[in-house]
Amino acid sequence: MTKIASLIGFGRKKKPEGWNRPPVMEQGNEGELLEVAMGPHHPSTHGVFRMDLALDGERVIRLKPEFGYLHRNHEKLGEGQSYLSSMPFTDRLDYLCPLSNNWAYALAVEKLTGQAVPERAEYLRVILAELTRFQNHAGSIGFLMQDMGCSGTPLMYAFREREKILDLFEELTGARMMCNYMRFGGCRVDATPAWLDATRKLVAGLPKFVDEFEALLRSNEILMARTQGVGILKPDLAVNAGITGPLLRASGVNYDLRKVDHYGIYDRFDFRVPLGDHGDVYDRFMVRMLEMRESLKILEQALKDIPGGPVMDPKAKIRGFRPKQGEAYGRIESPKGELGFYLISDGSPNPYRYRVRPPSLINLTVLEDMALGQNVADVVLILGSVDIVLGEVDR
Amino acid sequence: MKTIEEIKAAIDAAIPDAGVVIVPNPSPSGQHSLLLDPAHATQVAKFLRSDAELSFDFLSNATGVDWPDKEVAERVKVTRPVTKLVDGVEQTAEETVEETRKHIEPGCLEAVYHLFSMEKKHGPLVVRMRTVNRTDQVDLPSLTPIWRSAEFQEREIFDLFGIVFTGHPDLRRILMWDGFVDHPMRRDYVEPDDFEYEPTAHDEVLARAQAHQSVELAAQSAEQQAATAGKKETGAAK
Amino acid sequence: MAVDEQLKIEMRKQGIVVTSIQELYNWGRRSSIWPMNFGLACCAIEMIATTMARYDMARFGAEVFRPSPRQADLLIVSGTVTKKMAPQVVRLYNQMPEPRYVIAMGACAISGGPFKQGYNVLKGIDRYIPVDIHIPGCPPRPEALLSAFMALQKKIDAQPLTGEGRPRFLDSEAQGEFPVPVPGEHDLEPASNKGVWTVPVVIR
């Protein structure tokens, strides 16, 4: 693990005096708090999300998030149907990264039953998860730039690569987005050598895209002026509030589940974990950019070493799947943070309790702390840098 | 990380009457849990977070579980005096009869927390708290003052299960709207009846759909009858 | 009065364009439908992908997605409508000026979709507002959304300007404001708008 903080300090400009003011109303203005509801229908709230802001002019004095506009009772549905039937519903949780959600659920059930996974399936899982991480981070940066006013041009660049990756997903799993590909004990279908060659070709061309994307955005004046020093998150608060993912690592805390939990076969790959120094929006932007490069490194290694063999454990029980009584909590490093599934089994084909630990909901705990004292325009950027998906927040 | 017995020993050493019980987990995951006594839960939580070796500074997941009331039937041998008529004379004798007695074991609501350590990079430690019953004594101490990540998750447990967390800074509904009165994730929740139309309905959904449709069919046929009666009248009048 | 197609083509070759007011009017209307930025859930991502470089929707006239309902013509309801969100959807629809059209994109907007057994899921947005085009799929492919857009354009083209079937803004008796549901104790009140949606009677 190397700290790549020096790269992130590139080009920092000094802020003027008295720039970050405390969230206290100016004297004489008490009683004139402007209460604004931002959302649920808003061009930059990444979905149906509402924030009740109390403003003094442009400064945020209080921010209360409101959820539930996409609450589709995923957990109650999980109790009513069998374990495998819930797999397509996990696609719809974080709908930008369906394959990561599938893997997290499969991991939790495999912990519950003690199921082993064949090696080729593990490699395929890593390849698909890292491709998902790549297109998620590219899209997240694209959406952040759109919130900043770029009117969709960086988003077009990101979605150009995303379409190529979705083509690969469609060829392998049958669907562009809701892939429903992982199973308890492996993957659903095997990848043909032609698919692996196509993936290698795509991955060989992606570093050029990341170079172009980064060079266009990294030292953009408007980006730097609007994101440096904005929405600072201190590491102690981040750890106490249960923040995970790029949001945590941009504050300087080195906690990446791929290195901590050693799940899957991530131990075999050589990759670094980018950390930030200041914990502001610019750091999160750079951490995501650097994580895209690390994903490409993992992809190159995995595609080179993938072995042959079955993709599904031949002794895995599919019909009459009744795990023993007990419970398990399985988690992975999804592109948004720690995605965990908590399952309680009572010996029947349906789970007794099926719980999703949503990274986006818990990352929003500190939204108020990050936004106090900033302008309303900064709130939009801070929300964009947290990178939430409402399907996961509300489930 | 220490094993669950060692952690219990450490807690007992630091807080003498903590009342912590190990709940074993029979599945291969090996994630055993500690059942905390609500009276000492805050103390134990503070110890778990601040202890140098355990250092559980990251609360990852907080969730609720509903254990409904169970009806338990047991067969009991009961000896009772019985009066019988024997040869025209009343006699009392002792009779042993096997009876099935049913009683209701009260259920409870449970809050389960998963703790990890970002500093020491170990975990998970599963911690549980149970309420007294499901109806009126449903409060538990909130762990939000100790781990801020419990803030939204405890609000969700309150919204969906009904556990009231004392000490929570802002306990109100988070996913359902404020005027909603039920707790949807409980096992005895009845969903609102808006399944009026199902193309391939079966079983109870079919029964509910037909109940709605018979209302609509009756209304439609009443309208048709009124229309034909009106036409007949105008026809007859002409 | 319709002009013979062959005659039209002959005259076009000479540089004379013959058309009717209805054709011209509807051609203008259908070629510049501006959708509103209304993505609820996963279908919204496919909607965004439709506007991106590969499946460019701008070439069909949907050049800009307006964030404000006052400036939009088309409401693409993409994603699950929950009971908490339903009053907001109806309010936004009421705020759109005529002519306005609704596309229900995805299984969730048509009938609740995979989440139909949800206590918080509205079983289809057509319970409260009139829907013109339904697109099945979960999520529908971008090509399906483009095909639905073209179907909407055909529908607009076929709308006469007078008489039966004319658009609502030319009809002074058409309903303009639709009642907004109110969240009650267990469910929304009312559960559906009577004028817009009736329980379909299945005859077996």
| CA-based end-to-end distance of chain C | 45
- A270 near A282, Cβ under 8 Å? no
Answer whether A347 touches B (CB < 8 Å). no
E strands, B87-222, in order: 89-105, 108-117, 122-130, 139-141, 164-166
Handedness of CA B93, B96, B99, B104 (dihedral sign): positive
Residue C21 contacts B where some CB pair is shorter than 8 Å: no
| Residue A99 lies inside a defined structural domain of this protein | yes
Tell me the two tokens of residue C164.
């039966």
Tell me which DSSP letter residue A126 carries.
Answer: H
- Please give the tally of structural domains in chain A: 1
- CB B95: neighbour CB atoms within 10 A? 11
Residue A8 lies in a domain: no
| Site from B32, B48, B56, B63 to mutate, A interface, most A CB atoms within 10 angstroms | B63
pLDDT in the model for residue A14 = 63
Mean pLDDT is lowest, of B74-78, B129-133, B164-168, C110-114, for B74-78
Rounded to the nearest angstrom, the minimum Cα separation between A345 and chain C is 22
- Is C118 within 8 Å of chain A by CB? yes
Give the A:B interface size as CB pairs under 8 Å.
106
User: Nearest by CB to C186, which of B175, B182, B216?
Assistant: B182
Give the nearest partner residue to A95 out of C45, C51, C92, using CB atoms. C45
Q: Report the alpha-carbon distance of residue B176 to residue B156 in Å, rounded.
A: 9
- ipTM value > 0.85: yes
Is C201's CB within 8 Å of B217's CB?
yes
B213 vs B75: CA distance, rounded Å:
47
Residue B56 in this model has a pLDDT that exceeds 70: yes
Is the distance from CB of C22 to CB of C161 less than 8 angstroms?
yes
Shortest Cα distance, chain A CAs vs residue C169, angstroms? 26
Q: Which of the residues B60, B126, B151, B176 would you substitute to probe the A interface, choosing the one with the greatest number of A C-beta atoms within 10 Å?
A: B60
Instruction: Please tell me the distance from the alpha carbon of residue A12 to that of residue A282, in angstroms, as a whole number.
Output: 10
CB A336 within 8 Å of CB A267: no
Q: Does residue A317 sit at the B interface (CB-CB below 8 Å)?
A: no
Cα–Cα dist A371/A391, whole Å: 23
Do A71 and B176 make contact, defined as CB atoms within 8 angstroms?
Answer: yes
Q: Which residues of A touch C120 (CB under 8 A)?
A: 68, 71-73
Pick the closest to residue A124 from A136, A134, A132, A135 (CA basis): A132
C13 contacts chain B (CB < 8 A): no
Query: CATH code at A346?
Result: 1.10.645.10
The pLDDT-based confidence of B237 (bands split at 50, 70, 90) is low
Task: Please give the DSSP secondary-structure letter assigned to residue B56.
Answer: -
Distance from CA of B68 to the nearest CA of C (A): 20
Instruction: Check residue A140 and give its pLDDT.
Output: 93
Residue A268 lies in a domain: yes
- Give the CATH number of domain C31-169: 3.40.50.12280
Q: Which of B177, B178, B182 to mutate to test the interface with C (most CBs of C within 10 A)?
A: B177
A48 in contact with C, Cβ within 8 Å: yes
- Identify which has the larger pLDDT, A23 or B31: B31
pLDDT per residue as tens, chain A (395 positions): 334 544 554 556 666 665 566 666 666 666 678 888 887 888 776 888 899 999 888 888 889 999 889 999 899 999 989 999 999 999 999 999 999 999 999 999 999 998 889 999 999 999 999 999 999 999 999 999 988 888 888 999 999 999 999 999 999 999 999 999 999 989 999 999 999 999 999 999 999 999 999 998 988 888 888 888 888 999 999 999 999 999 999 999 999 999 998 888 999 999 999 999 888 999 999 999 999 999 999 999 999 999 989 988 888 888 788 888 999 999 999 999 999 999 999 989 999 999 999 999 999 999 989 998 888 888 999 999 998 999 899 88
Would A18 be classed as within a structural domain? Answer: no
Query: Does A340 map to a domain?
Result: yes
- As a whole number, mean pLDDT of residues B218-238 equals 65
Give B178's pLDDT tier (boundaries 50, 70, 90): confident
Q: Which two tokens stand for residue A73?
A: 């009772």
Question: Cβ–Cβ of A326/B29 closer than 8 Å?
Answer: yes
Instruction: Quick: pLDDT tens for B87-123.
Output: 767 777 777 777 788 888 888 899 999 999 988 888 7
Most B CBs within 10 Å: which of A343, A365, A370, as the mutation test of the B interface? A365
Q: Show the low-confidence residues of chain C (pLDDT under 50).
A: none
Q: What pLDDT shows up at residue A5?
A: 44
Q: Taking each helix axis from N to C terminus, what angle separates A119-145 and A153-173, rounded to the nearest 10 degrees? A: 160
pLDDT score for A3? 46
CB B137: neighbour CB atoms within 10 A?
12
- The answer to whether position A17 is within a domain reads no
B204 touching C, CB under 8 A?
Answer: no
Q: Are C21 and C50 in contact (CB under 8 A)?
A: no
C-alpha to C-alpha distance for A103 and A335, rounded to whole angstroms: 12
Nearest CA in chain A to C119: A73
H or E element: which one contains A286?
Answer: helix A281-305
Domain enclosing residue A353, as ranges = 24-394
Q: What pLDDT shows up at residue C165?
A: 75
Q: Give the length of chain C.
A: 204
Q: Does residue A1 lie within any of the structural domains?
A: no
Has residue A253 been placed in a domain? yes
DSSP, collapsed to helix, strand or coil, labels residue B117 as strand
Torsion of CA A282, A286, A291, A292, to 10 degrees: 110
Whether the CB of C186 is below 8 Å from some CB of chain B: the reply is: yes
Q: Which of A86, A356, A90, A352 is nearest to B187 (CA)?
A: A352
Model pLDDT, residue A30: 63
Contact B179 C186 (CB under 8 A): no
Contacting residues of B for C200, CB less than 8 Å apart: 197
- Map out the domains of chain C as residue ranges: 31-169
Q: Both ends of chain A: CA-CA distance in Å? A: 34
Task: Kindly tell me if the per-residue pLDDT of B234 is higher than 70.
Answer: no
Instruction: Using an 8 Å CB-CB cutoff, list chain B residues near C120.
Output: 175-176, 184
- Among chain B residues, the shortest Cα distance to A49 is held by B175
Quick one: pLDDT at residue B105? Answer: 82
| Gap between the Cα atoms of A101 and A78, Å rounded | 14
Contact C123 B194 (CB under 8 A): yes
Q: What are the C-alpha distances in Å from B204 to residues B193, B197, B198, B207?
A: 12, 13, 11, 5
Residue A241, chain B, CB below 8 Å: the answer is: yes
Cα distance between residue A249 and residue B55, in whole Å = 20
Structure letter (DSSP) for residue A267? G
User: Which residue from A60, A360, A371, A63 is spatially nearest to A230, judged by alpha carbons?
Assistant: A371
